[in-house]
Amino acid sequence: MTTELRVPVERVEVELLLGDGRRRRGVVFLPPGSKVEELLERSAFLPIEEEGKVRLYAPGALACVAVFGAKANGAAADELPTEARALSVRLRSGETVEGELRYVPWQGRPRTADLLNEPGSTIALHAGREVVRHVAKAHVECVEEV
């Protein structure tokens, strides 16, 4: 008799915006305590379940990954005081992504350029409490404060 070991995972609903402007909806499976942005930073390919099939997306193909629901902001979202900047991000595909860039204030009020130039390959834009869009910096053409 063979026993299967199953690692518990969380199903997180996402919408992908590909570099060419196409949109896809699906589900990402995350180990408990993991975040989608961590997968985007370190995965060679991002597995997404779409319509019962798993597709593996190359990170360079993803212009934006929108995360929906409670997993969007994570458990620690309200632990520290944050400020926000409303941004409009134009992608090389011509698409526009809007939301708030949230940050913990330190040493005064940093410029948007300072925040965007922080380490990491994505920009997290919040749209309310239920959606966070992780925009790939490599696909950004222009960022504008609104």
Over the stretch 87-129, which tens digit does the pLDDT of each residue have?
999 999 999 999 999 988 876 777 889 889 989 899 999 998 8
User: What's the CA gap between 28 and 15, in Å, rounded?
Assistant: 10
**Alpha carbon of residue 4 to chain centroid:** 32
Give the domains, in start order, of the chain with CATH numbers: 10-71 (2.30.30), 72-145 (2.30.30)
Nearest to 25, CA basis, from 56, 41, 57, 49: 49
Judged against a pLDDT cut of 80, whether residue 61 lies above it is answered with yes
DSSP assignment letter at 42: H
What integer best gives the mean pLDDT of the chain? Answer: 86
User: What's the CA gap between 126 and 38, in Å, rounded?
Assistant: 17
Question: Which residues lie across from 126 on neighbouring strands?
Answer: 100, 132
Judged against a pLDDT cut of 50, whether residue 75 lies above it is answered with no
| Three-state secondary-structure class, residue 40 | helix
pLDDT at 67: 93
Of residues 64 and 2, the one with the higher pLDDT is 64
**What phi-psi label fits residue 97: left (phi over 0), alpha (psi between -120 and 50 degrees) or beta?**
beta
Of residues 78 and 56, the one with the higher pLDDT is 56
Q: What is the pTM of this model?
A: 0.85
User: What's the CA gap between 39 and 19, in Å, rounded?
Assistant: 18
